Amino acid sequence: MRGTATQISSRGRLPHPAAPFKSANAFAKPAIRPMRGKRVGAVVNAFEILRHLDGEDTALRATEIARDLRINPSTCFNVLQTLVTEGAVGFDPAKKLYRLVDEWRQAISCIGTKAEVLTLKPEAECLARKHQSFITLWRRAASDRLVLVFSTDTPLPFEVRMPPGSRVPLFVGSAGRVMAVASGVSERELRASFERLRWDRPPPFEIYARELAAVRQKGWALDRENFARGFVTISAPVRDAAGQVRYACSATMPSFRWNETLSPAIAADLLELGHSLSRTATRSATPRCVTTRPEAYP
């Protein structure tokens, strides 16, 4: 008999049970075809606004959105009002503030995510069973956030779940360490960002910086109960077709089930899972559990 489902919040806490994840296949995009005809400016503006609101923690005024996206203020206002009417954006008439509604935040987490990435979920479920962990795929958002694309079920006596669309700061946890290395920010910028992060057990910056050096060498990152007390997470970069680290794939398990000898094999499988995206856009849907030697960052 399985225990209760537990959700890890974006701040690393362990709140009350959460609803299960809905299949990411529902959000999969059709194959991209060459553009035919004329791009519709209003549609382009609508998607830019939705993505922008998804990357913000606070509600925004129409003038702020127009300035940030360099959209004509009148056009921006009209698009926002249409999105409010259609139920995608919430509006506070007293404060004149707009925010993305929760249901659309979950959908936007996969809008802009390539369909090939979403097809990684069967392989991720295979790895979850193999390593007795749960696998998550994170996408770097437009600002300083990671957005959860999907998570697998937990093959454990209890369940830990995070809803799609959940967001965490860009440099927090093991996935954040991967992104910190890939971003190439200066130590000064990194320290400034680090001081704003919230952890259950925050590491000193000096240790965090040394861990990033290890990530550069090994090609994967480890978080030992810093982000969420009682959990260990291993993350590997996932490169898009252009070779950029846009995603991070993570395996999370209770700390009592983890030891140092497990990390290299788990990391190798996560790296291979990420490599599946770059190797081919159309591959067999049959899940594969494979192991290769991890690659270091270039």
Q: Kindly indicate whether the domain formed by 41-108 is annotated with CATH number 1.20.1250.20.
A: no
Per-residue pLDDT, 122: 84
pLDDT at 293: 40
- Stretch 170-179: mean pLDDT, rounded? 94
- Say which residue, 292 or 277, is predicted with more confidence: 277
Q: Residue 122: name the closest of 152, 159, 164 by CA.
A: 152
Closest to 178 in 3D by CA, of 204, 148, 225, 146: 146
Radius of gyration in angstroms for the set of CA atoms belonging to the chain, rounded to a whole number:
20
From residue 205, alpha-carbon distances to 188, 202, 217, 292 in Å are 11, 9, 19, 32
Please determine, looking at this structure, whether the domain spanning 110-279 carries the CATH number 3.30.450.40. Answer: yes
User: Residue 184: its pLDDT value, please?
Assistant: 84
CA dist 89 → 34, 62, 215 (Å): 30, 12, 39
d(CA 295, CA 254): 26
User: Domain locations in the chain?
Assistant: 41-108, 110-279
Averaged pLDDT, 179-201: 91
Q: Would strands 134-140 and 97-100 be described as parallel, antiparallel, or unpaired? A: unpaired
Model pTM score: 0.63
Whether the CA torsion 98, 192, 189, 198 is positive or negative: it is negative
Q: What is the pLDDT of residue 34?
A: 53
